[in-house]
């Protein structure tokens, strides 16, 4: 069921992209510092969206790596604390009264 939904979502996205391209055949000029190019507006918008998605994915990925590193550090601290507690429980209790 999940795979069917993904196929449907991908098909709908492609269909919407095709419709968007057909409905926006106009050209736009993109000026750089030293040159300029002319490209279809649908291509410019699509490339901008794609670059934004890639940038967002990279930011999310870097945050996930940071969280994973923090998780490993906490796991090491937890293991050390558990070992210390285990050692303390093995010590004999002295009553100095």
For residues 92 and 72, the model is more confident at 72
Q: How far apart are CA 92 and CA 14, in angstroms?
A: 71
Q: What is the pLDDT of residue 97?
A: 61
The helix/strand/coil state of 6 is: helix
**Maximum mean pLDDT: which of 11-15, 39-43, 46-50, 70-74:** 70-74
Confidence of residue 17 (pLDDT cuts 50, 70, 90): confident
Q: Is the dihedral of CA 17, 23, 27, 29 positive or negative?
A: negative
61 alpha carbon, distance to own chain's centre = 4
Q: What is the pLDDT of residue 91?
A: 84
| pLDDT above 90 coverage of the chain, percent | 36
């Amino acid at each position: 069921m999940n795979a069917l939904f993904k196929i449907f979502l991908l098909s709908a996205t492609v269909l919407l992209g095709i419709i968007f391209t057909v409905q926006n055949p106009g050209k736009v000029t993109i000026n750089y510092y030293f040159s300029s190019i002319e490209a279809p507006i649908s291509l410019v918008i699509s490339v901008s969206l794609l670059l934004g998605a890639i940038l967002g994915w990279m930011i999310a990925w870097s945050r996930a790596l940071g969280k994973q590193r923090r998780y490993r550090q906490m796991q090491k601290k937890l293991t050390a604390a558990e070992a210390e507690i285990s050692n303390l429980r093995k010590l004999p209790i002295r009553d100095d009264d």
